[in-house]
A and B are shown apart, each in its own frame.
Chain A
Amino acid sequence: MNLNWLDAFLITGLFSVFMVIGLALLLHLQMGLARIANFGVVGFWGLGMYVYGVLYVQVDWPFDDPWRFLLSALAGVVAAGISGLLVGWLIADLDEDGVLLGTFGFATIVWILATTETALTKGALGLGGLQFPYRLGNAKQNEALWLLILIVVVALIMLYVWRVHRSPYGRLLVAVGGNEPLAQSLGKPAFRTKLGVFTVGAAGMGLLGVMYGVLERFLETSNLGVDLTLAAVVGLVVGGTARLWGPVVGVALTVGLFDIVIQSYIPLPKSWYGQAIPVLREMVFGAVLIGILLFRPLGILGDMRRDKLMRSMHGE
């Protein structure tokens, strides 16, 4: 296959767009339906990535890939899921602000651990020694295949979110998110439902973290800042949650603009990529978020009424 059109920049750009789409879709379940304002996306993502990386590199495995990879990756996903269960349980009784701070605090803890536990993570130096679970030929072919696998995973996430949307379970989530005490009296375990979606979302975010770690084959603590959470939130907010395509379109417009269009198709001095573009990206994302908050006085969560989708579901 001729892959000339696909260079390393474009692969990372596309990977980042699809990955953030996946994160935004999972966030949509947590925030859009169940109204859990998760501002710690990067924490679950990063925990998955680091648990995978540390186990893969630091454990003296008695066997090699694919088992070594599969077990490390599975551990990353499970760790992210369990942390979701714990964090979700801890923030259960907090109000919206508390949830926001709690999840943000969790992400900060993950970042601190990755930075300070240098014996395991190599801290700010970065953890190398990772590899693709397969060898196709050259690096580009390996990366292209991994991108393809990510696209399949994100498509599956989308299918899952779509199914939840259409199911009674999805409606229960909206009910619990909107009025938890009342949802208790519906005869279904409301709290468990809410915790369930938070856990599944966290595990999914961990999986995307593992996949990113594999693509980069080098884990850096600088990835654990607020950037990724911001990207997922902005994508979700820009696209809106009235339709399932909202997060997809939102992320494509925001992350896509920076990580693909500007990165690959606008001829800028190469020296800008390191510092100037990422800084500009954060500034624009922040401004977009503020703009939306200003012009949608209901705020992020208020704006996430999924009523249109529910409406279309009932054939109106």
Chain B
Amino acid sequence: MSDPSGAPILEATGLRSGYHGITVIKGIDLEVRNEVFAVLGANGAGKTTLLATLARLIPSMSGVLRFLGEDVTHTPAFETAARGIGYVPQEKGVFTDLTVAENLTIGGMIGDRAVDERMSEVFELFPDLAVLRNQVAGTLSGGESRMVACGRALMQDPTLLLLDEPTAGLSPLYVDMFFEKITEIHRTRGVGIILAEQNATKALQVADRVMVLSLGEAFLVEEAGNLTTEQLKEGYRI
């Protein structure tokens, strides 16, 4: 399914963003095609800020953002979401007052396919969720919440999925399972994935290409197989 040579799904040119006038993302150029694109970087490198900017949840200070060939630099987040950008934040990815099933249903508000059909696909991918369907999401464990957040984003039938450290703080068993699921989502559904990760080893196993983010700048962009430990260390500033 990976087709890194195809047309870009998402393109950013000179993208800058941050908080309260302070620049965190300092001019990023990026082209993501139908692939698994990993964004690696140390704590505070700006991974979360970059993904939130791509999801249009943080306004960009300058630069251009294009999704499926159209300029979305100033498009509201709900509209880019409706056009096919699914976003799973690092934290607070579920609606705590709603049940698991309601979280999924609400993800399915957009799109044409029947909600039940999409939901059973999510349950196929994450069988645990079928068992938990009537549990209030606020009472789920960390790993279960991640599955719900991911499932909710998939309910939107996205073209591109932004995953912000989906396995942070999870037990090794969960981590392995999650990375398998990420590959599966990309392979079977043809969804492009941008994956922010600290865990370089794991990310490199599933990614086609990698960007190492360092202090808000793209230290390098490389085929996953070609990345050397030295490059990684330098990018992580260790």
Contact = CB atoms under 8 A, between A and B. Distances in A.
B124 interface: no
Top 6 A-B residue pairs of the complex, sorted by shortest distance between their CB atoms = A187-B82, A187-B110, A187-B81, A184-B77, A185-B87, A185-B81
B134 A186 contact: no
Nearest to A176: B95
Interface in A263-311: 305-307, 310-311
Given A168-B106, A184-B57, A185-B86, A174 B95 contact: yes
Interface in A171-209: 171-172, 174-175, 177-179, 181-190
Nearest to A181: B57
Nearest to A305: B97
Interface in B48-106: 55, 57, 76-79, 81-82, 85-87, 89, 92-99, 101-102, 105-106
A95 interface: no
A135 interface: no
Nearest to A304: B97
Given A184-B77, A184-B81, A311-B134, A171 B96 contact: no
B125 interface: no
Q: Interface size class for chain A?
A: 20 to 34
B109 interface: yes
B68 to A, nearest CB: 15
B9 interface: no
A307 B138 CA distance: 11
A314 B101 CA distance: 9
Nearest to B84: A187
Contacts of B105: 168, 171
Nearest to A306: B97
A316 interface: yes
B100 to A, nearest CB: 11
Given A178-B95, A311-B134, A186 B110 contact: yes
A171 B107 CA distance: 11
B107 A186 contact: yes
A310 B110 CA distance: 21
Given A307-B136, A316-B134, A185 B109 contact: no
